[in-house]
Structure formats: structure tokens, C-alpha cells
Amino acid sequence: MFRTRSFAAILLGGVLAALPAFSQEGGRSDATVQAFGSFVKTTTDNGVQQGATNSGGVLASYRFFFSNNHGVEVNYGYSRNTQTYGLAAGPLGVNSNQHEVSAAYVYRHVVRHFTPFVEAGVGGLVFAPRDAPGASTQTRAAFVYGGGADFNITKRIFARAEYRGLVYNSPTFDLTSALGADRVTHRAEPSIGFGYRF
């Protein structure tokens, strides 16, 4: 748990410390809260199938734009699902809490009533088992990409529809039976929510 908090603090601190270097007159911030779906690709490698149950979660984001088009964002997301492994000894499922922390570059194009955007960055996924004796919490680095649009409701309040994809190495929770079952996988996260500009 200490490693998880340290990783998140270092990542967020580094991004926030860099913001003043990018700031110029006319910069703008926004914050959003979104509900997302989590859909992990099922893969088979060396006869072992690995995947996860579909689930949902919540994502909080903060963005800072240092020009009309260019900005950065930091995100924190939380979800739960069951990681599944089709092992030779039989199927294995590990229920886990999942925390994601990421930072990304954002490019947007402001239009009168809505603002489309694309993003790319890096982050980490923390998989914390809930009810699996002998399973350990694991952190995985992730590449994050996505796009979407903000739709103005008022001058400051908007709705955000977004798709994010995360590419990472799947967890094994250091379980003896699952060692070697990890592989590069993909998580799709479509989301919708509301935000506030300030």
C-alpha cells in the first residue's frame, strides 16, 4: 500500500510541479468526474487464457491548458473486477480493487458549442486483491491514449464523453499458479460525466 501511495504522489507531484513552466496568460483549468466502463481484452498465450470481467468505475480528472489548444491532465480512477486465468490446473479468478493514476498531454480544438480533444500519456495501474490468500498487490505501468469531446451546458459547466485505452502487462498477483501467465493486454474505458471550468 505504501508503494501505491508513493507512486501516485510522485506522479501527481511531478506533473503539478511542471505546470507553472507551461503557464501563460489565458490559461484555463477544468475538473471532471466521470463514470466509466472497463472492458479488458481476453488473450491466450501458451494455451493459457487470461482476461477480466467487465465492470465499471469512477474517474476524476484535472486539466490545465497553457494555450487554447495545448494542455496536460492528471487522472485518478477506481474500479473492481475479477482477473481470470484459464490454467492447466483449472480456472482461477482473483477479485481485485483497481486504482489507476495517469498523466497525459491533451490537444483540443475549441468549437462554439463543443470541444473535441485527443490525449496520450503514461500512468500506472495498481491491482489490490480482495479475497485471495497469498495474493500480493501489484503495480503495472501503462500507456494511455484516448479522445472525446466536451459539450457546453453553461459557460463553466460541461458534459464530457470520452474513450480511453490503456495498454499494460496483466497482473499475476505473485501467485505461484499464475506465474508466467502475464502478458500485454488492453483495457477499453468509455466514459461520460460532468465538468467545471475555472
Residue pLDDT, tens place only, 80-106: 999 998 887 788 899 999 999 999 999
Res 180: pLDDT = 74
Gap between the Cα atoms of 138 and 104, Å rounded: 22
Res 65: pLDDT = 96
Looking at every residue in the chain, the average pLDDT score rounds to 87
Q: What is the CATH number of the domain that holds 98?
A: 2.40.160.20
Range 18-43 average pLDDT = 76
pLDDT, one tens digit per residue, over 143-190 is: 999 999 999 999 999 999 999 999 999 998 988 777 777 789 999 999
C-alpha cell at 60: 476524476
8: helix, strand or coil? helix
Res 182: pLDDT = 78
132: helix, strand or coil? coil
Q: How confident is the model at residue 134 (pLDDT cuts 50, 70, 90)?
A: confident
Q: How confident is the model at residue 14 (pLDDT cuts 50, 70, 90)?
A: low
pLDDT at position 121 over 90: yes
pLDDT at position 59 over 60: yes
Sequence-separated (6 or more) residues with CB below 8 Å from residue 88: 47, 48
Q: How confident is the model at residue 10 (pLDDT cuts 50, 70, 90)?
A: low
Full domain range(s) for residue 111: 2-197
pTM of this structure: 0.83
HSE value, Cβ hemisphere, 13 Å, CA-based, for 126: 19
Percentage of the chain beyond pLDDT 70 is 86
pLDDT at position 22 over 80: no
DSSP letter at 157 equals E
pLDDT at position 128 over 60: yes
Sequence-separated (6 or more) residues with CB below 8 Å from residue 109: 69, 115, 116, 117
Count how many domains the chain has. 1
pLDDT at position 15 over 90: no
Element (H, E) at 83: strand 70-87
